[in-house]
């Protein structure tokens, strides 16, 4: 399985927001620190806001922030929601499937099980676990580390 560019950028964006918890961050700040084009980032911000992972504020002091605590955001849920319409193989595509084996293929079932196991593993990881006490990440983002959780 391959992580799409969209999911990769979404996770960078969410980690940046988690590292700056409680502060509105701008698209330009995120783009600069996460090496993402602002136009591509805008699309992903919009999608994550629609999915309820981000809150956006539009005005001269606007920006983005997490819509819920980082401890409540599971990486598996983010990937599932972002990739729900992206087929993992041709036989999973509704419109573009030309494989004549689809109805009889046991490999398709095995792939479906593997994809679910992949997401289940990522469901164990919270955004908070990726960010807190990660001093190397904070140095990249140039923000002070988050306080220790009790």
Reported as a single tens digit per residue, the pLDDT across 18-44 is: 999 888 999 989 998 988 999 999 999
Number of separate domains in the chain: 1
Q: Does a structural domain hold residue 107?
A: yes
Q: What is the DSSP string of the chain?
A: ----HHHHHHHHHHHHHHHTTTS-B-HHHHHHHHT--HHHHHHHHHHHHHTTSEEEE-STT-EEEESS-GGG-BHHHHHHHHHTTS-SSGGG-SSS---TTTTT-HHHHHHHHHHHHHHHHHHT-BHHHHHTT-HHHHHHHT-PPPPPP-
pLDDT for 138: 87
Q: Does a structural domain hold residue 98?
A: yes
What domain range includes position 137? 5-141
Q: Does a structural domain hold residue 119?
A: yes
CATH number assigned to the domain comprising residue 60: 1.10.10.10
Q: Does a structural domain hold residue 25?
A: yes
Q: Does a structural domain hold residue 148?
A: no
pTM summary value: 0.84
Q: Does a structural domain hold residue 46?
A: yes
**Mean of all residue pLDDT scores within the chain:** 87
Q: What is the pLDDT of residues 76-104, one digit of tens each?
A: 999 999 988 777 766 777 777 777 877 88
Which of the four pLDDT bands, split at 50, 70 and 90, describes residue 111?
A: confident
Q: Does a structural domain hold residue 132?
A: yes
Q: Does a structural domain hold residue 150?
A: no
Q: What is the pLDDT of residues 38-80, one digit of tens each?
A: 999 999 999 999 999 999 988 877 899 999 999 999 999 999 9
């Amino acid at each position: 399985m391959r992580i799409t560019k969209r999911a990769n950028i979404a996770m960078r964006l969410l980690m940046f927001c988690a590292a700056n918890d409680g502060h509105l961050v701008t698209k330009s700040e995120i783009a600069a620190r996460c090496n993402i084009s602002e136009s591509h980032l805008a699309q992903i911000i919009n999608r994550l806001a629609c999915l309820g992972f981000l809150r956006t504020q539009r005005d001269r002091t606007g920006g983005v922030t997490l819509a819920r605590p980082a401890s409540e955001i599971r990486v598996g849920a983010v990937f599932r929601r972002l990739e729900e319409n992206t087929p993992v193989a041709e036989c999973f595509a509704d419109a573009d499937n030309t494989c004549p084996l689809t109805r009889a293929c046991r490999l398709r079932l095995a792939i479906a099980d593997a994809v679910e196991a992949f997401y289940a593993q990522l469901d164990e990881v919270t955004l908070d676990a990726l960010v807190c006490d990660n001093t190397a990440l904070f140095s990249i983002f140039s923000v002070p580390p988050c306080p220790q959780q009790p």
